[in-house]
Amino acid sequence: MSTFLYGANVHANGIRQHYLRYGGTDGARGGRAAVILIPGITSPAITWGFVGEVFGRAFDTYVIDVRGRGLSEASPTLDYSLDAQGDDVVALAAALGLGRFSLVGHSMGARIAARAAVLRPVGLASVVLVDPPVSGPRRREYPGKLPWYVDSMALARAGMDAGAMHAFCPTWTEEERRLRAEWLHTCDERAVLESYRSFHTDDFHADVAQLHVPSLLVTAARGDVVRDGDVAELQRATPSMQHVRVPDAGHMIPWDNAGGFYRAFGTFLGASLL
């Protein structure tokens, strides 16, 4: 049975923020911290719906559209900085009246989660960073190349189908490619360009060093986003940070190995996802 409840909008941090809610607060979920799931650079909330369904079995779960993506606000004058994105998450949690909540961010979303945590919002219980770009000042570049995003978004704006999306996501199922083809046009190119730039200008390691709540780092066994040396450095900055590598998975971990992704959480958030 689906755990999806509804999609909604809230005015928070001065903009319209859209989210999808799963699970609710009935039963055991009501005694656990809610989960705010923050997707990556070109992932509207709906493309993470299958993850929200699973999280919703155990937690009151909110999958958000980051500003400039999906149904959240976008405009030529909107601030797309990491600071603004972090402020959005804190304001969203407050607007929703969440007494206790955990942040689970993937890729760009992990960097947003870390920046939001630096603000020490009331009620923050824990943070999960899923395959975060560790690029930044005086560090190696993020391995994902900008044309992959820009070219696919241009095709999506013109109109593309699952077949055309295969060139960009060859390992995904047709259903997954169809959903991405349908929603990718909602990603504002200005937002994506600014977020990609910030991968190389914002200091993610400095944010991680300020984490004051329990934290979990989940990384992909394949790919080159987070290397062993990066894990060691992050854990030196935050010695209490737990780490799990998910086997048989590239950067888009739940698409490659969903079971391994959910197992990686164990009971870190307060209950098992499996």
Each residue of 77-93: pLDDT tens digit?
A: 999 999 999 999 999 99
Across the range 14-28, mean pLDDT stands at: 98
Spell out the domains of the chain, with CATH numbers in brackets.
4-140+201-264 (3.40.50.1820)
The answer to whether residue 168 scores a pLDDT higher than 90 is: yes
E strand intervals along 39-164: 61-64, 101-106, 124-130
pTM of the model: 0.98
With tokens 């999306």, the residue in question is: 165
Averaged over 210-237, what is the pLDDT? 97
Q: What is the band of 165 on the pLDDT scale with cuts at 50, 70, 90? A: very high
Buried b / exposed e over 124-133, threshold 16 CB at 10 Å, is bbbbbbbbbb
Q: How many helices (H) and strands (E) does the chain have?
A: 11, 8
* Chain mean position to CA 257: 17
Which token pair is 209? 């060093």
Residue bearing tokens 């770009």: 133
Tell me the CA distances in angstroms from 270 to 31, 36, 55, 109, 128, one per residue in order. 10, 14, 12, 21, 13
Mean of all residue pLDDT scores within the chain:
98
Q: What is the mean pLDDT of residues 146-170?
A: 97
The two three-digit tokens of residue 14, written as one number = 């001065």
Tell me what pLDDT residue 223 has: 85
Q: Which helix (H) or strand (E) holds 220?
A: strand 215-220
User: 108-118 and 82-95 helices cross at what angle (nearest 10)?
Assistant: 70
The three-class DSSP label of residue 66 is coil
